[in-house]
Amino acid sequence: MALYTPTAQSTGRFELQGVQSVFDNCSDIIEEPVVGDDFYDPNTGKVSQLIGQTRYQNLTLTGLLSRVQFLQLKALKDSPKSRDGSLTGTHVIGEGTNTVTTIVTGVRIMRFQYGTFDKLSNSPAKVQVELSFTGTRVT
């Protein structure tokens, strides 16, 4: 029987280049191939589909930020780097020797959401950021 140590979701974190923000949660990294037109494969005698490049679904990060962290993130969002795809991010889950680190490349900030308040709530105000990206590298 193989021995393994499960990784808790609570050990995960995401760091966006230049900003040491701690986000409470992050959506899944989803990689899927772009599927093209049907074609007849004479080797198998069946109809198949062309498989193209990999498409990545956007990441959504939510977190409680201090004023300093918020201002750093807002400045990064307002900079040209957030639009030209030159940012990188680091997605880490696990701890110690049971860690999976994924470098996310070609990051663009697509949406920056903040400011929700409710006078009847004791919940803290959160910031939500949606990122698109063009590649991953697992280390």
Q: Which class is 9-138 in CATH?
A: mainly beta
pTM score: 0.81
d(CA 68, CA 17): 16
Angle at 104 between CA 11 and CA 68, to 5 degrees: 65
Question: Which residue in the block uniquely carries the two structure tokens 């803290």?
Answer: 124
Around Cβ 57, how many Cβ atoms within 10 Å?
13
Of these ranges, 18-22, 99-103, 124-128, the one predicted with the greatest mean pLDDT is 99-103
Q: What is the pLDDT of residues 46-72, one digit of tens each?
A: 998 888 899 999 999 998 888 888 888
Q: 137 pLDDT exceeds 60? A: yes
pLDDT score recorded for residue 2: 59
Sorting pLDDT into bands at 50, 70 and 90, what band is 97? Answer: confident
Around Cβ 95, how many Cβ atoms within 10 Å?
13
Q: 120 pLDDT exceeds 70? A: yes
Q: 96 pLDDT exceeds 70? A: yes
Provide the sign of the torsion angle of the four alpha carbons 105, 106, 109, 110, taken in this order: negative
H or E stretch covering 56 = strand 46-56
Sorting pLDDT into bands at 50, 70 and 90, what band is 126? Answer: confident
Q: 35 or 9, which is more confident?
A: 35
d(CA 73, CA 67): 10
Mean pLDDT along residues 24-31: 91
d(CA 64, CA 124): 7
